[in-house]
Structure 1
Amino acid sequence: MRINLFLVLAATSLFGCSQTKTNNSNPEASTPQGDSLLTEIQQQTFKYFYEGAEPKSGLARERIHMDGEYPLNDQNVVTIGGSGFGLMGTVVAMERGFITKEQGEVQLDKVMKFLAAVPRFHGAWAHWYNGDLGTVKEFSDKDNGGDIVETAFLAQGLITVREYFKEGNDTQKSIAAKADSLWKGIDWNFYTNNKNVMYWHWSPNHAFGMNHAIQGFDECLIAYVLGASSTTHGIKPEVYHEGWARSGAIKTSLTKYNIPTVLKHNAQEGEVGPLFWSHYSFLGLNPKGLTDQYANYWDLVVNHTKINIEYAKLNPLNYKGYGADKGWGWTASYSVKGYDAHHPDNDPGVISPTAALSSIPYAPTESIAFANYLFKNLKKQVWGTYGFYDAYSETENWYPERYLAIDQGPIVVMIENYRSSLIWDLFMQAPEIQEGLKKLGFSSPYLK
């Protein structure tokens, strides 16, 4: 079954979602420069989480396909992790004036009420919900309950909202208190299953049947940091050191293109993972000056990015449009071969704009060059209602008009962290985060 774009936009209008103050960009317009370029990308991309939000819950839809190629009953499926990114994006939008504070308050209060009302599993949320019904939508047979990693991505956003609003007016303080209560209700320790490692899933039907231990390095560092930071259901330091860090085996001397990988990526031997591994945990957690006994995390994420840029320069498969000043960056995204986690050793010739754009704090020159390349050469094909589409291939002449929440969210947040450190500063100032990092043996310029 197909769904027309009109149905999505009509549903949004029907439920009275306010419009942002910006207009859709004209694909024929000249390329913006400097700050205006970054502002335009942030504004347009944020619309995914505001104008494109599922209207009853206020949460981010898992996906929006402007070409209509998805089942009608998918349009109300909301994603918990992507919604966490959207909460941080909403703070950016209010601070930048993309929406008013009052508009942000209405949206955020709706989200907090929905999150408090839906089923939770030892405090954790499921990966997906039916936003119109407030019920769990299973991700897979045994993944129909708590997802502690998606919950961690959401919790980053809850803490950010709390810190932004905690000294505000009465309405803002009320939202901050709701966000605080939701965050404190997560039972991180339960997800250790009484072992010195965290487990990704718990199901009311299958318990820990997925048996997916969370071990690094990948996108899940934030789950351990938040688990250690919890003042209500915290994890022991041993869970981090023996579980995530594999009792020290997370360290490696591996290089890629003569660039140190710093930590062993949770990938095939000799490979690095997709770039979202260096984005999702670091939307709130600032890697600048962040170190522990295993890594300098700024070196980790910068080198991960440099490896992607070097691969684009070498372009060993001779794909069209690759280069440090053209297309670069590989992550989990749509693809000519279906959704996949792309990286330099798994590249079907597909570029996902979020990979380079969300790496802007790590490689600003190359990220901005990539944005300019898209605007100047491919804007008609890759730019739409909610910013850059999820993925494209110049080699295959493939330009699907599709979006994914988990790819759009980091663009807004990481561009802001590059520009002002807003989200980094808010998250890192949280007293629980500071104590949690100390508990795990981290050093950071933020720690008092």
Structure 2
Amino acid sequence: MTLTHLRTFCLAALAVAAAATAAPSRSATTAPSRSATTATITRYKNLPLAQQQLIDDLQRRTFDWFWDSTNPANGLVPDHYPSPESFASIAAVGFGLTAYGVGVERGYISREQAIERTLATLRFFKDAPQNASEDDATGYHGFFYHFLNLHTGKREARWVELSSVDTALLLGGVLFAQSYYDRDTPAEREIRALADAIYRRVDWPWLQVRKPLISMGWTPGGKFIPHDWQGYNEGMLVYVLALGSPTHPVGGDAWKAWTATYDRTWGNFQDVTLLNFAPLFGHQYSHVWIDFRGIRDDWNRAHGLDYFQNSRRAVYAQRNYAIVNPGGWTGYDTNVWGLTACNGPGGIVVEQGGRERTFQGYTARGAGRDYVSDDGTIAPTAAAGSIAFAPELVLPALATMKQRYGQWIYDRYGFVDAFNLSFHTKTGLRTGKLVPELGWVDTEQLGIDQGPIVLMIENWRSDFVWKVMRRNPYIRKGLQKAGFSGGWLAAPAR
């Protein structure tokens, strides 16, 4: 299976059909107590100078990835870069649209530059063809294809699905633009109008093939994907946006059905009790745009925590897993950890130490009560994108990985997507390269992994993205229809 075919469906399949895997009975480090999850988080301004410089440098390089890689004519962001042959990822576009605002606030670019890039992007998605054809469309029923040709903007190939979750991640950036560009100028008024039109067009009930849940997507040839968003994962954003729609909303029973599927993944993993989803991206993506601190739905209230606290626990559980290191992979320790969806050495079985080892290509690596998928491949975004949840674990991890391996895994655009210190087989590689005496390292970055780095760093530093999105009426409405209350939702939008 090729990288592109695998990436299209592996995350969705893992979200609904992961095999349970037994975890070691005891962790090698203390899990966060319930009281610890509400502790004040150390902020950037209190850090030692060396850590401030580390974060400054990483955030700027990761922002530059989006700014340099994007097609300025249509705003499409490549799935992977600096590979010259990448298709565009609509999820990466959502992260990019949000990153431009961060760039303005940090002084990387001017507001005028961000407006120009944002207008190009929104004009493209507003006017791109929406129809049921196999090859002559960008989307249908307001949704968009997961991967688009970077230049034409059409569906990349017939294996690409119309994706509900990738459309939701795109819309996170679209609605960020709607709320951030709030000045009374022709350009900013146009941004708000385009964003509103793009969001209002999405026909969420059309994908409720098995009501009240929402399907993962559709293809002209295969029709509706036979899986719905259920279990805890990145699909949370899908439901919030579907509930908040002023034109094509789903009913409140959709959120109840979504949370009703949680119980099979609630429980202990590595001495941490949490709502499990093995790859850390599932604990990051929706949180990029929604501040879940202090707001709770019915499920939260029944279990005594909010989703932010749950993500914090997930970070601790993954770090604990790396310390125990049941797979015996090279390099795992207290400050070298992090499993999430990323590239890898690729579809290779080798014999090491008298046993067969299988090394995957792109897949949703993770460790949790629901399943474990671990081949020794570390993705720095797993830690970096979790900085807002547990900076006391993330900052040492980033510093250690950069100090030990930076000359091979840290480049013009920050951390490469992934590295594997257990892989040393000389063979044809789909991506990345072998470094003698070190192992496999990737040679590019992925948009969906770069996004959480630059944006969650900013949320940790300043609450910036969260503050902007608290003002968005559609986000607020979606959360309220889902039954969230308390915290910032109890105050008027401002």
TM-score by length of 1: 0.84
Residues 279 and 364 in structure 2, CA contact (< 8 A), matched pair in contact too: yes
Residues 251-270 of structure 1 correspond to what in structure 2 (within 5 A)?
A: 253-261=266-274, 263=275, 265=276
Query: Which amino acid in structure 1 is aligned with residue 69 of structure 2?
Result: G
Shift of 1:303: 1.1
Query: Which amino acid in structure 2 is aligned with residue 133 of structure 1?
Result: T
Q: Which residue of 1 aligns with 2:195?
A: 179
- 1:229 corresponds to 2:229: no
Q: Which residue of 2 aligns with 1:131?
A: 150
Residues 18-167 of structure 1 correspond to what in structure 2 (within 5 A)?
A: 33-65=50-82, 74-75=85-86, 77-119=87-129, 120-138=139-157, 140=159, 143-144=160-161, 146-167=162-183
Q: Give distance in 2, aligned partners of 1:206 and 1:318.
A: 41
SS of structure 1 residue aligned to 2:144: coil
TM-aligned CA distance change 1:423 to 1:311, over 3 Å: same
State which of 227, 230, 235 in structure 2 corresponds to 1:212. 227
Shift of 1:278: 0.4
Q: Give distance in 2, aligned partners of 1:45 and 1:253.
A: 34
State which of 277, 280, 289 in structure 2 corresponds to 1:275. 280
TM-score by length of 2: 0.76
Shift of 1:341: 1.1
Query: Which amino acid in structure 2 is aligned with residue 211 of structure 1?
Result: P
Query: Which amino acid in structure 1 is aligned with residue 259 of structure 2?
Result: A
Shift of 1:348: 1.1
Q: Which residue of 1 aligns with 2:452?
A: 410
Q: Which residue of 1 aligns with 2:375?
A: 348
Q: Give distance in 2, aligned partners of 1:347 and 1:134.
A: 35
Residue by residue over 1:4-63, the C-alpha shift from the partner in whole angstroms, topping out at 9 and shown as x without a partner, is: xxxxxxxxxxxxxxxxxxxxxxxxxxx972333212111101112111113432221011
Residue by residue over 1:135-174, the C-alpha shift from the partner in whole angstroms, topping out at 9 and shown as x without a partner, is: 111362xx44x31111100111111111110235332222
SS of structure 2 residue aligned to 1:51: helix
Residue by residue over 1:400-444, the C-alpha shift from the partner in whole angstroms, topping out at 9 and shown as x without a partner, is: 212111111110000000001111111122122212211111124
Query: Which amino acid in structure 1 is aligned with residue 99 of structure 2?
Result: G
Shift of 1:250: 3.5
Moved over 6 A (4+): none
Query: Which amino acid in structure 1 is aligned with residue 280 of structure 2?
Result: L
Shift of 1:196: 0.9
State which of 246, 249, 255 in structure 2 corresponds to 1:240. 255
SS of structure 1 residue aligned to 2:366: coil
Residues 243 and 251 in structure 2, CA contact (< 8 A), matched pair in contact too: yes
Residue by residue over 1:249-275, the C-alpha shift from the partner in whole angstroms, topping out at 9 and shown as x without a partner, is: 5465520122112x3x4xxxxxx4100
Residues 167 and 173 in structure 1, CA contact (< 8 A), matched pair in contact too: yes
Query: Which amino acid in structure 2 is aligned with residue 342 of structure 1?
Result: R
Aligned length: 396
- 1:189 corresponds to 2:205: yes
Residue by residue over 1:177-200, the C-alpha shift from the partner in whole angstroms, topping out at 9 and shown as x without a partner, is: 212221121111221137211011
Residues 229 and 435 in structure 1, CA contact (< 8 A), matched pair in contact too: yes
TM-aligned CA distance change 1:157 to 1:249, over 3 Å: closer
CA RMSD between the two structures: 1.9
Query: Which amino acid in structure 2 is aligned with residue 288 of structure 1?
Result: R
Residues 8-23 of structure 1 correspond to what in structure 2 (within 5 A)?
A: none
Query: Which amino acid in structure 2 is aligned with residue 287 of structure 1?
Result: F
Residues 250 and 294 in structure 1, CA contact (< 8 A), matched pair in contact too: no
Q: Give distance in 2, aligned partners of 1:276 and 1:43.
A: 21
Q: Which residue of 1 aligns with 2:136?
A: none
Greater strand share, 1 or 2?
2
Query: Which amino acid in structure 2 is aligned with residue 241 of structure 1?
Result: K
TM-aligned CA distance change 1:318 to 1:441, over 3 Å: same
SS of structure 2 residue aligned to 1:137: coil
Residue by residue over 1:201-221, the C-alpha shift from the partner in whole angstroms, topping out at 9 and shown as x without a partner, is: 12334432x222111211110
Residues 259 and 307 in structure 1, CA contact (< 8 A), matched pair in contact too: yes
Q: Which residue of 2 aligns with 1:170?
A: 186
Where does the alignment leave 5 or more consecutive residues of structure 1 unmatched? 1-30, 67-71, 266-271
Q: Larger deviation: 182-191 or 408-417? A: 182-191
Residues 381 and 450 in structure 2, CA contact (< 8 A), matched pair in contact too: yes
TM-aligned CA distance change 1:168 to 1:57, over 3 Å: same
Residues 285 and 427 in structure 1, CA contact (< 8 A), matched pair in contact too: yes
Query: Which amino acid in structure 2 is aligned with residue 64 of structure 1?
Result: Y
Query: Which amino acid in structure 2 is aligned with residue 245 of structure 1?
Result: T
Q: Give distance in 2, aligned partners of 1:154 and 1:40.
A: 26
TM-aligned CA distance change 1:323 to 1:234, over 3 Å: same
Residues 295 and 488 in structure 2, CA contact (< 8 A), matched pair in contact too: no
SS of structure 1 residue aligned to 2:143: coil
SS of structure 2 residue aligned to 1:182: helix
Q: Give distance in 1, aligned partners of 2:362 and 2:214.
A: 27
Q: Which residue of 1 aligns with 2:336?
A: 327
Query: Which amino acid in structure 1 is aligned with residue 156 of structure 2?
Result: K
Q: Which residue of 2 aligns with 1:14?
A: none
Shift of 1:114: 1.3
- 1:297 corresponds to 2:307: yes
Q: Give distance in 2, aligned partners of 1:37 and 1:180.
A: 37
Q: Taking every aligned residue pair, what percent have the same amino acid on both sides?
A: 30
Q: Which residue of 1 aligns with 2:132?
A: none
Q: Which has the higher contact order (CA 8 A, sep 6+)?
A: 2
Q: Larger deviation: 42-51 or 112-121? A: 112-121
